[in-house]
Structure 1
Amino acid sequence: MASPTTVALLVKKAIDIASDKRVQTFIASVIVGIVVIILIPFLAVLSIFNAEAGYSRETAKIVFDGGPIPIEADAELTEYMEDMIDAFEEIDNAIADYNEEGFDHIKVKSFFYILYFTKDMSEFNEEFYQDFVNCFADEKEDDEIYEELEEYLPHDFTETEKEEIRSLYLFIKYGYSVTGQITGIPGEAFDDETFAQLMTEATKYIGFPYVWGGSTPETSFDCSGFVCWVYTHSGVHNLPRMTAQDIYNQCTPVSKEELKPGDLVFFTGTYQSSNPVTHIGIYVGDNQMLHCGDPIGYANLGNSYWIKHFYGYGRL
């Protein structure tokens, strides 16, 4: 046990330390840092779920899913979301009256969401929803839909609105955003014979090292060089040397439910780049891909790294 003298000296030292302004400043900085770390996630949630945030992917996804609305949402945003969920039910009813299997509910709702989220919809009646849905009948192209809506509503669509509609549609349907027409109709997947042909070529290079810019067996490969070589030299699809972003731009997006062996998997942020797509692999089934890592080999898409950097699926 420490003597009284020792205890007294320790107490005095503690008082001296606590009186030091540098120590006080340090302690205050630590406390502020801890508070900021605690508050940042909370403030981020509030910034998403308040009416001033307007259109965001988070609120849109909740509305398209039919709720539930988070308790963090403020009263005004909650009302907007509830109104839009009710409107989507009216749209579903209007589409059901057409009895057309090819009707794209997500496309109709994407247009409606961008046009009317945060707007007063109290005067919209059953006839309005029927006429709105009618503008999408017969699997019209985008330009035809815009023309019919502009005449019916009337409303002049801005380029910003058109881009927001495209982005929202593809985010809801596929989980990511691409440019171009909203067709939503991917081409035919490879049959078993074609996929086997692709894999015969691809598996020749398992174990080859990753080489930045590599595009042949002599130089070895990088991720896009590997895919271009394998697709071209297997004979399944002529794919000249290009980047992962370029390949992505040529693909039709497919959802996870539509994903088939031979399709491509794209990733983002795997290294610093001005392009969103930075890595590519070949989907081989069972949630696996064959890609040019270091070395070339198989990878599980359920791995936390690939989940974090996932961008989307595509089909050539």
Structure 2
Amino acid sequence: MKTKLIKLALSFFSSDDGRKFVRNVAVVIISPFVAITVLIGAIFSDGISFNHNLVTDLFEGNPISELTGEMKQYVQEIQDGLVLIDSHIDKINQTFTNGSSLNIYQVKGYFIGYMVSSQHKVFSDEMAEAWVNSFTEGEEVKVPTSVNAVIYASLEKNLNEKLLKDTKKSMETCYGALIGNDGKTVTTLSKEQMDELIKNMPEDTSEIRKKIVMQAADAVGKIPYYWGGSAKCAGYDGNDFGVTVAPDSKGRNKKGLDCSHFVDWVYWTVMNNNLGNTNTSGQIKMCKKIAKQDLKAGDLAFLINKSGKTTHVGIYAGKNAKGEAVWIHENSNDSNVAMNTVSYWSGYYRLNMMEGR
């Protein structure tokens, strides 16, 4: 039965309806005899917290009690593997000397995707260790990596098998679902969702920081991602966001902003300072590095590649009800401003102009 279920799932995901499923988070009944709700590919249901779907329940270690028979065993094998992987993530994070850590969403998201593919197998502790090690690079000194080419090559070597195209697709779909990058249309936030952000902030959060977060949150789903796009002025009026223009390097043809210019625009709109209307390299020079625990609403985080080049920036929006750090950023994968709990940041920073505010 397990083989049939896997084939049915793979067949579904490769079909047109399957692709629509990933976008629209449809509910699928795999078999009339096995009534299982599959919610892989879900983006955030309320802009802050994950949907309570199978992928997220597995990731978070939540109990999944509605399954019976072979499907219960099938899911249990995934859960058992995740327990082993969690232990090895903790071990290897302790070996990094520069304070970095593995991207647990990628390590575990890829594992879940692998385990719901046709290459599913029961993982031993040794295999779990090999899996986690595949997300590092370097001989004498290991460092985390998020580069697919490196990870896939390491996985194939460490697991001694070739990753199938459908397996890679499944892995990337599950990872994308966890971080909100599944291609689903980003919707705007309700007043209640925005109020929740303020409610969860420390009482001593300054009004200016609250305004920065509220301006960023108000833009969620409203400003398309456009590589190199910058604002002409503060606010929405006069910027023509969403108007059809010549396509950027990735074919996106709606006038909008990229990640750094979104940050510029937010500060321009709130504080009449566009930070020089620069890129991430320029922005980080205007900041000082801070510890994660020192983050305040409106602070920034940068993604930096192994060459030391800044590649992405986001605005810290406080914590959600689960205590997870919430980020608002112009997200190329969502093609719009999005809010989620991604954890891939290389470091946390405070603009010099925000010191003491």
Q: State TM-score, norm by structure 2.
A: 0.41
Q: Please tell me whether Structure 1 or Structure 2 has the larger radius of gyration of its CA atoms.
A: 1
- Structure with larger RCO (C-alpha < 8 A, sep 6+): 2
Q: State TM-score, norm by structure 1.
A: 0.45
Q: Which has the larger share of helix?
A: 1
